[in-house]
């Protein structure tokens, strides 16, 4: 196997500055010291899930080792301490998104649950047969299927904004789809399959002109750019903690407080009620009315630590670094014989999807894995976009704040190796 892949993973182009010390950042992620098949791990699957820095791991261990308990209901010290840490995380996420209030932050299991929550709670109450929900051609399945389920239940109409051959969101086509029956626009902020950054300011402005609400799926945006829900003037924003260097099992629904309080609960159970009798139950206000049952306590605390971690580095530095890596990867991979990049939108974030002539994406993924390089292969839970480009699957390198140009070199070398292996 390729020996170059085991070389040092920081290149001169990854120039550390005082604001962004790549060596120090990489040292924060214990897994990056790992070897895979004798090669240093080159982890380029951050779009699926990002690795965890030491402060996140430590915050979660500390919670379990020193103060863990259930939240909101105990009078004892551990419960009080857990509740404080859990609610402090809510505050951290509120500041991270520049929410107007901590009450606007609902903890969910992830983005998928957050979108299902909006579809079930807001959608069931506010949408009727013939009402229209607009999504785009590059949505993750989690922002397609909940609306299809609502279509089956309520007879709503789903409209899909097309994209061009480079993967750009077509604003003019979008404008034509909006009308008096449009009630909700639910689109991704950044495409997980193509890396396209959607012009969300324009999307929101146009939707609001028609009186429609806007939900943004921020899964692939929040790890790469600062998001200010008030400046965006959006109505709902969702993301998953595990793609933001936090744990799995925790995600966020942000919604405007008035909207959340006008929505019926999604699930019933403990911790979401004000009072219960057999005749009548009254519910707490948001966010608690949407958090029935014991929440993912330590995961929420871990997410708070992840938010602290990225905030301390800052998105100016993170996005400058990642754009450098993305640009380098785009040039480097374009030079690989037979490789075609799928998705060359004008504005992109951290993702390069590609196919190589005559080699199935799964074979590519398996061979580069032997060089220690982890990329995702498949349809990326975005089958309609694969169909749009006439491919069953792509290989996808998705970058995080710890990735380097030297790791891109390792990927390119491993791809050359795969080409030679298949005689291409
Ligand atoms: N939306 C986008 C754009 C994604 O990339 C993903 C995950 O890949 C999701 C939604 C679903 O996230 P989760 O599986 O964490 O709920």
Q: Is the CB of 192 under 6 A from ligand 1?
A: yes
The pLDDT of residue 176? 98
Contact 132, 275 (CB under 8 A): no
- Split into its structural domains, the chain has a count of 2
Contact 46, 399 (CB under 8 A): yes
- Are residues 332 and 307 part of one domain? no
Q: Is the CB of 217 under 6 A from ligand 1?
A: yes
Cis preceding linkage at 287, omega within 30: yes
> Which atom of ligand 1 has the smallest separation from the CA of 109?
16
- Are residues 337 and 404 part of one domain? yes
* Pure H helices in 314-352: 315-334
* Residue-level length of the chain: 424
How remote is the CA of residue 141 from the centroid of ligand 1, in Å? 8
Choose one of 274, 290, 312: the last residue of a domain. Answer: 312
- Are residues 45 and 76 part of one domain? no
Choose one of 267, 295, 312: the last residue of a domain. Answer: 312
Residue 302 main-chain phi, psi, to 5 deg: -65, -40
Choose one of 264, 281, 312: the last residue of a domain. Answer: 312
Tokens 């779009």 identify what position?
47
- Are residues 188 and 159 part of one domain? yes
- Are residues 358 and 286 part of one domain? no
Tokens of 396: 């996808």
Q: Is residue 170 part of a domain?
A: yes
Q: Active-site residue numbers?
A: 381
How remote is the CA of residue 111 from the centroid of ligand 1, in Å? 6
What is the dihedral angle through the alpha carbons of 208, 123, 146, 177, rounded to the nearest 10 degrees? -30
Tens of pLDDT, residue by residue, the chain (424 residues): 344 444 456 776 676 666 789 999 999 999 999 999 999 999 999 999 999 999 999 999 999 999 999 999 889 999 999 999 999 999 999 999 999 999 999 999 999 999 999 999 999 999 999 999 999 999 999 999 999 999 999 999 999 999 999 999 999 999 999 999 999 999 999 999 999 999 999 999 999 999 999 999 999 999 999 999 999 999 999 999 999 999 999 999 999 999 999 999 999 999 999 999 999 999 999 999 999 999 999 999 999 999 999 999 999 999 999 999 999 999 999 999 999 999 999 999 999 999 999 999 999 999 999 999 999 999 889 999 999 999 999 999 999 999 999 999 999 999 999 999 988 8
Q: Is the CB of 220 under 6 A from ligand 1?
A: yes
The pLDDT of residue 12? 62
**pTM of the entire predicted model:** 0.96
CA distance 226 to 316: 8
- Are residues 358 and 371 part of one domain? yes
- Are residues 65 and 37 part of one domain? no
Tokens of 170: 């077509």
CA distance 404 to 362: 24
Domain of 42, CATH number, reads 3.90.1150.10
Contact 112, 241 (CB under 8 A): no
- Are residues 278 and 142 part of one domain? yes
Compute the Cα dihedral for 346, 325, 303, 47 and give only its sign: positive
Q: Which protein residue's CA is at the shortest distance from atom 7 of ligand 1?
A: 48
**Cα R_g (the chain), whole angstroms:** 22
Q: Which protein residue's CA is at the shortest distance from atom 4 of ligand 1?
A: 219
CA distance 85 to 75: 15
Q: Is the CB of 110 under 6 A from ligand 1?
A: yes
Contact 214, 161 (CB under 8 A): no
The pLDDT of residue 73? 84
What is the residue range of 328's domain? 22-54+314-421
- Are residues 141 and 207 part of one domain? yes
How remote is the CA of residue 188 from the centroid of ligand 1, in Å? 10
The pLDDT of residue 19? 73
Q: Is residue 72 part of a domain?
A: yes
Q: Is the CB of 140 under 6 A from ligand 1?
A: yes
How remote is the CA of residue 317 from the centroid of ligand 1, in Å? 24
């Amino acid at each position: 196997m390729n020996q170059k892949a085991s070389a040092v993973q920081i290149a001169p182009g990854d120039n550390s500055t005082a604001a962004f010390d790549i060596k120090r950042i990489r040292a924060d992620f214990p897994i990056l010291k790992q070897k895979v098949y004798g090669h240093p791990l080159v982890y380029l699957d951050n779009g699926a899930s990002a690795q965890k820095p030491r402060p996140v791991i430590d915050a979660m261990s500390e919670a379990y080792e020193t103060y863990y308990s259930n939240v909101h209901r105990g009078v004892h010290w551990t419960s009080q301490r857990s509740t404080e840490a859990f609610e402090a995380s809510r505050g951290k996420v509120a500041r991270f998104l520049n929410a107007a209030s901590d009450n606007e932050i609902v903890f969910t299991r992830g983005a998928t649950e957050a979108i299902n929550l909006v579809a079930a709670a807001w959608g069931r109450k506010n949408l009727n047969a013939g009402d229209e929900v607009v999504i785009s051609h590059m949505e993750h399945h989690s922002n397609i299927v909940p609306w299809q389920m609502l279509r089956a239940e309520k007879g709503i109409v789903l409209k899909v904004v097309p994209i061009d051959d480079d993967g750009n969101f077509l604003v003019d086509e979008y404008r034509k789809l909006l009308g008096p029956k449009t009630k909700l626009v639910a689109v991704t902020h950044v495409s997980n399959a193509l890396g396209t950054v959607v012009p969300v300011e324009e999307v929101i402005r146009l939707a609001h002109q028609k009186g429609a609400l806007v939900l943004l799926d921020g899964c692939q945006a929040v790890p790469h750019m600062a998001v200010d829900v008030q400046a965006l003037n959006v109505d709902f924003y969702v993301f998953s903690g595990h793609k933001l260097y936090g744990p799995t099992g925790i995600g966020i629904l942000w919604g405007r407080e008035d909207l959340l309080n006008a929505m019926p609960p999604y699930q019933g159970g403990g911790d979401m009620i004000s009072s219960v009798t057999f005749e009548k139950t009254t519910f707490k206000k948001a966010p608690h009315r949407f958090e029935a049952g014991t929440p993912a306590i330590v995961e929420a605390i871990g997410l708070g630590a992840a938010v602290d971690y990225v905030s301390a580095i800052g998105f100016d530095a993170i996005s400058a670094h990642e754009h450098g890596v993305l640009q380098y990867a785009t040039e480097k991979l374009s030079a690989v014989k037979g490789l075609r990049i799928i998705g060359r939108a004008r504005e992109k974030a951290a993702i390069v999807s590609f196919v190589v002539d005559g080699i199935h994406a799964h074979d590519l993924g398996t061979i580069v894995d032997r060089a220690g390089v982890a990329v995702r292969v498949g349809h990326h839970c975005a089958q309609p976009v694969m169909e749009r480009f006439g491919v069953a699957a792509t290989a996808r390198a998705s970058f995080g704040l710890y990735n380097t140009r030297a790791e891109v070199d390792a990927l390119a070398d491993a791809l050359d190796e795969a080409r030679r292996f298949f005689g291409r």
